[in-house]
Amino acid sequence: MSENPLHLLMNPKSVAVAGASNTPTKMGSIQALSLLKDGYQGKVYFLHPKDKTIFGIGAYPSPRDLPEVPDLAFLVVPINAALTLLEEFGRIGTKRAIVVTAGFKETGAEGANLEKQLNEVAARYGIRFVGPNCLGIINSQICLNTTVYPFPPSDGLLGLASQSGTYVTQILPLSRKKGIKFSKAISLGNEANIDIADALEYLGEDEQTKAVILYIEGIRNGKKFLEIARKVTRRKPVLAQYVGGTVSGARAGMSHTGAMAGPDFLYDGMFKQAGIIRVGSIEELYDHGWTLATQPMLRGNRIGVMTNSGGPSSSISNTCDLVGLSVPRYSEKLQEQIRPYLQPHAASSNPVDLTFDTSMKNLAITIPEIILKSGEVDALISHGIMHSGFLREIYSHAVDFLGDISFEQFLEMAEPVLTETFEIPRKYNVPYLISTFFGQEDYYTKGFQEHNIPVFHSPEKAARAMGALYHYSLIKKRKPGKKVTLPKISPRAVNILKQARQNRQKALDEHTAKRLLAAYGVPVTKEILAKSLREALAAASKLGYPVALKACHWEIMHKSGKSLIALNIENATSLKKAFLDIRRAAGFFTPVLVQQMLSGGREFLAGMTRFAAFGPGVVFGLGGVFTEVYRDTTIRVAPLTDADAQEMLTDIRGKKLLDNFRGMPEVDKEKMIKILQAVGNIALLHPEIAEIDLNPIIIQKARPVVADALIVLKNGL
């Protein structure tokens, strides 16, 4: 077992509550009642400065008066009292705490200072705590609930860590209606001490938890989170909803790379790198998480669809296509086995549509077993299995013609619930998802939920959840990357950056940037820097026409559209004119870069920008003049393994351009991978570099070559 602080915090043998009173509607009292009423068998102590008893249990005036040192201190008290009490608990030896109290850094500078003091107290006594400004924890294994909502005992399988208390508490009634059962749930609040990476590590180690879901508003230690996430996702599924990446939160950069790499873009790439499945809504977070917690691994993408209506079958099939799943046509042999159980006009090819059939045996048992025995599908989605919910709907119409019978008597007239259907997923070890328009009032819905078979109230939601299962199966198949070993620092690169610092430059000029890149093995264009027309003519003669001319000065960071570039110069006469035009457009004396003219029909980009919590992020995508139009890019956090870089090549919409395309050969992907890795390595070796922008990288035949480069320096140094 690791030293994760949550192991003790989530499994206390005794809890001391400060902040409860005999008024059951107060927040601290509500949480104390959850602790008392939901089955926790450990010892519970109350602290109160005046009252002698709380809910009939003796109370103590201070921690030092307690009969033993509690494992966990639970604080729901005013902010100043929280500081004092944490100190007192520290003195008696308590090592874990939950600080529900709000009013810390979320309120501004003064609150941030108080939060700092809270951490200082904790550090002094070796205390680790969740919060402040949180709503507590749940551990279903020991019936521990410190939230404001009841949590009845359950055999939970889904672990949750949330930076919002609402999604650990207010969600509980809805999760019960959906049959979703938590193993552990952690409200993290301000994360002053224990953060979401700690929570992910703990849930990843927890044997009871079969899948982990995360609600994330921001990550402060991205490197730690990524390292832990990569380990956890190899063992179990992790899903996340991230909501902190809107345009209003994005940073702007001086290069194309920095301008495009906002927080949402970064988190999207980081989740992919870590093997985390990102979802778009809180509903999907719980629904897909529960699906992954309860269902076996999807062995392929072939889905069998069975419904009692054409509309849901079309909806499921269409959504399956959208999420990468296949709804294959059944073989003639399998269709022949299915047809005897269908009406003559019903479809047997997949989806199987029974149309209106009030007998559930064919839809719930017979046809599913025929399909699964065939081996032609890897999973099933069924819509329309129903019983008491449907009968309740028609009861009011039918009762007038059946005599004065109760609904219970009416149910006895119908086919009973066929309990064998609940065993099918386990019997065949395949994922099985249910779509229905009925809730727990229907006996089939309730039965599926009780057997941990996910139930969805729309056909599309069931198919999207199956898509999440398929997504995780692809993650499990990924090859682990080789451990990254950074190269030795290049003395040439060190000297280049030292000279730029002495010159107080904000960036490197293109030629110098390419020299630095070449020092780390990045392929760049052949070029010569010319300070005069004579030197430019000599350079062109040496390189061979055609050539390109570019203004080359560190203050000129972007040249496109400013008459500072001339391409496809075929002879000396054209070169003379272009040289003078560029000098004139620059408005000041600037050297001119004479560069071999590359021919290639495909252009890509690579780059780097930095993020406070994550360090350097490496970007790859379509390049050239349409970079900002198509914005077809992806990002990963440095250093990049070979697997990370390989995945980046397949993560853009224009990935086909890397293959054989319209007579052009397949791009040398190994060389492109090395460019991406080098960009990340350079950023790690030289922290004074703020941004790197290699655009375009032209594919000459099959070989990628950097045709233009910008390196922006941190803080203008």
Please state the rounded mean pLDDT for residues 24-40. Answer: 95
Q: How is residue 451 annotated by DSSP? A: T
Please state the rounded mean pLDDT for residues 198-223. Answer: 96
CA pair distance 436, 715, nearest whole angstrom: 58
Q: How is residue 593 annotated by DSSP? A: E
Please state the rounded mean pLDDT for residues 350-358. Answer: 86
DSSP-based three-state secondary structure for 591: coil
Please state the rounded mean pLDDT for residues 321-344. Answer: 95
pLDDT value at 640 more than 90: yes
Residue reference for tokens 């110098």: 512
DSSP string, 204-253: HH-SS-SEEEEEES--S-HHHHHHHHHHHHHHS-EEEEE---SGGGPPP-
pLDDT value at 249 more than 60: no
Q: What is the largest CA-CA distance in the chain?
A: 109
pLDDT value at 196 more than 80: yes
| pLDDT, position 262 | 53
Please state the rounded mean pLDDT for residues 533-542. Answer: 97
Q: At what angle do helices 282-294 and 459-477 cross, to 10 degrees?
A: 60
Distance of CA 322 to the CA centre of its chain: 20
The two tokens of residue 670 are 């190994």
pLDDT value at 251 more than 70: no
Model confidence band, residue 360 (pLDDT cutoffs 50, 70, 90)? very high
244-247 long-range Cβ contacts below 8 angstroms, 24+ apart: 244/216, 244/217, 244/218
Model confidence band, residue 2 (pLDDT cutoffs 50, 70, 90)? low
DSSP string, 505-550: -SEE-HHHHHHHHHTTT--B--EEEESSHHHHHHHHHHH-SSEEEE
What is the per-residue pLDDT across 261-302, written as a single tens digit (0 to 9) for each? 458 899 999 999 999 999 999 999 999 999 999 999 999 999
Distance of CA 406 to the CA centre of its chain: 51
Model confidence band, residue 346 (pLDDT cutoffs 50, 70, 90)? confident
Q: Is there a contact between 711 and 507 (Cβ–Cβ < 8 Å)?
A: yes
| pLDDT, position 250 | 42
| pLDDT, position 273 | 97
What is the per-residue pLDDT across 65-87, written as a single tens digit (0 to 9) for each? 999 999 999 999 999 999 999 99
Helix %, strand %, coil % for the chain, to 5? 40, 20, 40
% of the chain at pLDDT higher than 70: 97
The candidate with the shortest Cα–Cα distance to 379, out of 371, 367, 370, is 371
The two tokens of residue 522 are 């990045």
Q: What are phi and psi of 255, to 5 degrees?
A: -105, 170
| pLDDT, position 248 | 42
Residue reference for tokens 């010319």: 530
Angle at 512 between CA 640 and CA 704, to 5 degrees: 50
Beta bridge partners of residue 158, listed in sequence order: 182, 211
% of the chain at pLDDT higher than 90: 85
Lowest mean per-residue pLDDT among 249-253, 323-327, 426-430, 511-515: 249-253
Q: Which strands form 14-18's sheet, in the order they lie side by side?
A: 53-54, 57-60, 43-47, 14-18, 72-75, 96-99, 128-130
| pLDDT, position 1 | 43
Model confidence band, residue 257 (pLDDT cutoffs 50, 70, 90)? very low
The two tokens of residue 394 are 């028609």
Set out the domains of the chain in order of their start, with CATH numbers.
6-209 (3.40.50.720), 295-475 (3.40.50.261)
The whole-chain average pLDDT of the chain stands at: 93
Q: Is there a contact between 276 and 213 (Cβ–Cβ < 8 Å)?
A: no
| pLDDT, position 577 | 96
| pLDDT, position 256 | 41
Please give the model's pTM, rounded to 2 decimal places: 0.93
| pLDDT, position 259 | 42
CA pair distance 325, 304, nearest whole angstrom: 10
DSSP-based three-state secondary structure for 654: coil
Neighbours of 326 (CB within 10 A): 16
DSSP-based three-state secondary structure for 257: helix
Please state the rounded mean pLDDT for residues 521-537. Answer: 97
Lowest mean per-residue pLDDT among 78-92, 291-305, 366-380, 702-716: 702-716
| pLDDT, position 246 | 58
Question: Which secondary-structure segment (H or E) carries 666?
Answer: none
| pLDDT, position 716 | 53
Our separate counts of H helices and E strands in the chain read 27, 30
The two tokens of residue 477 are 């198949």
What is the per-residue pLDDT across 474-511, written as a single tens digit (0 to 9) for each? 999 998 888 889 999 999 999 999 999 999 999 999 99
CA pair distance 490, 130, nearest whole angstrom: 45
- CA-to-CA dists, residue 298 to 292, 465, 616, angstroms: 10, 12, 35
pLDDT value at 253 more than 50: no
- CA-to-CA dists, residue 481 to 431, 592, 617, 675, angstroms: 29, 42, 17, 16
Residue reference for tokens 């898509």: 467
What is the per-residue pLDDT across 586-624, written as a single tens digit (0 to 9) for each? 988 999 999 999 988 899 999 999 998 899 999 999 998
What is the per-residue pLDDT across 117-165, written as a single tens digit (0 to 9) for each? 999 999 999 999 999 999 999 999 999 999 999 998 888 999 999 999 9
The candidate with the shortest Cα–Cα distance to 482, out of 637, 642, 638, 639, is 642
